[in-house]
Amino acid sequence: MQFTKMHGAGNDYVYVDCFAQPVPDRLPELARRISDRRFGVGGDGLILIRPSDRADARMQMFNADGSEAEMCGNGIRCVAKYVYDHGICRRDELQIETGAGVLPVRVETDGGLVRQVRVDMGPPILEAAIIPTTLPGMPVADVPLDVAGHRLTVTCVSMGNPHCVLFVPAATDELVLGLGPQIETDPHFPARVNVEFVEVLGPGEVRQRTWERGSGETWACGTGASAVCVAGVLTGRTERRIVNHLRGGDLVLEWNEADGRVYMTGPAAEVFQGQWP
């Protein structure tokens, strides 16, 4: 099986071109093995780039633990780069099918290769039952959550997958690595949840660390950064357009007031190609 290692702001996945080869067998097991950073290729998960009858390509993704996820903001930028750079579809405007629906993307090129991608992430989902969470509110903004003996204040948003956002003075290891997995599996989140720990640096600037369900801490999370943009507006902490500093790089987010959609712009990079096993 041929594969390509790619990353968006340090959020790295192993990508398989299923236009050029068959869909692999036993995908959850493959995702676990190939994502292992000691005994495999290493990555936050596995993403298949598949033909679609609704879009230019379909993205199917699995977390490092083998669980299938609906959407990845950094992953879709890398899929767009692969589709353009490898000649599957050479248009500046692409349509990518995901588990969260078909999303439009715009690629920015340099020397014939994609350098940066702008993704229309769609409108945020704020209904508790659809996020899903059993926490109260419409929206679920700045509500209390008791986890592992800690009283937390959280805001919940879905960007095609569920997110729990905490605004904190400092996103420490104690919070991210200690409370992150506790919140991910808390009973208030029936589908588990991605957890964002966010420092507000100013009305238009934040710093984020993410605990992703099924993968642990990742260096970036595009849907999470989009959820943070929405949560900042809902709670009056930030403006509608922000720069988000993640461990692997910066993303620009805007929750557009006119159309209600979230737009994310960030880098996409190809690291290397190989053959597995």
Active site residue 72: yes
- Spatial contact of 41 and 31, defined as CB atoms under 8 Å apart: no
**What is the four-CA torsion angle of 125, 250, 108, 75, rounded to 10 degrees?**
-50
Which residue out of 78, 156, 164, 221 is catalytically annotated? 221
- Spatial contact of 64 and 215, defined as CB atoms under 8 Å apart: yes
Question: Exposed, middle or buried, 136 (CB in 10 Å: 0-12/13-18/19+)?
Answer: exposed
Which residue out of 18, 72, 164, 229 is catalytically annotated? 72
DSSP 132: T
- Listed in sequence order, the residues at least 6 apart from 158 whose beta carbon sits closer than 8 Å to its beta carbon are 124, 125, 126, 130, 131, 132, 227
- Spatial contact of 228 and 165, defined as CB atoms under 8 Å apart: yes
- Spatial contact of 215 and 45, defined as CB atoms under 8 Å apart: yes
- CA gap 53, 97 in Å, rounded: 9
Q: Just list the catalytic residues.
A: 72, 221
